[in-house]
Amino acid sequence: TAEGAAWCWGDNVTGHLGSGDTFAKSYQPVRVASAERFATVVAGYYQSCALTNSGRAWCWGRNDQGQIGDGTNENRFTPVPVTGDLTFRTLGGGDAFMCGITDGGATYCWGSNVSGELGDPEAGSSALPVRVEGVPTLSRIYGAGGAFTLPTARAYACGLSGAGETWCWGGTIRGGLWAGPTDGPVRVEPGIRFQNLALGAEHLCGVTNEGWAFCGGGNYAGQVGDGTGQDRSAMVGVVGP
């Protein structure tokens, strides 16, 4: 709200409404139990995080993979601060992981690392933020996919640089836009610069500064929007009506 209060609704089995209540679900908004003034809220699959005006991250909900970032694996029914002295300018929510870009331009992720979504496929899951190496300074961060969302999907993250470059890491998506799990961040579609991305469980879309939409990856339901049902290993233009 304008006063910085956060409100959530829906499933609450592991505390993802953040209200401190233990009921299974709510069909109407309930206030997140925090005295903090939040500037933005980002939802993962079973967890949510919010940023204060000062850039501190607070998270609540399911925490079996450390996706709350407080150094534990305990579900949190009210917001708790992400451990460390990091201040973030933006966050991105994934399946069982979260990522953020610090005020200094570094990228950090925490939670599950089953598919390398923390940036290093050789590392384990982490209940504390770990820095993603090999990626330039990003302006936006996104997370998506994984077994919770779709059994065949592999969790991954992507970010946009200030120049519109797309960088992704984690498990590959259907169609093979990149080979995964990656050894670290990889540049995707270097010939196209995007101003925004949208990550699906098995496909990826982006919009350019000129307003053109491109998608790639899984296309079995027509989600690439190119008029076919063929998976795409490269980003293709969405066709008009």
pLDDT in tens, 130-169: 999 999 999 999 998 655 555 566 789 999 999 999 999 9
Report whether 50 contacts 58 (CB < 8 A). Answer: yes
End-to-end CA, the chain: 37
What is the mean predicted confidence (pLDDT) over 108-132? 94
Widest CA span of the chain, in angstroms? 50
Residues 20-33: tens digit of each pLDDT: 999 999 999 999 99
Please report which confidence band the pLDDT of residue 109 belongs to, taking 50, 70 and 90 as the band edges: very high
Q: Rounded to two decimals, what is the model's pTM?
A: 0.94
Q: Which residues pair with residue 237 across a beta bridge?
A: 214
The residues facing 59 across adjacent strands are 49, 80
- Rounded Cα gap, residues 87 and 190, in angstroms: 30
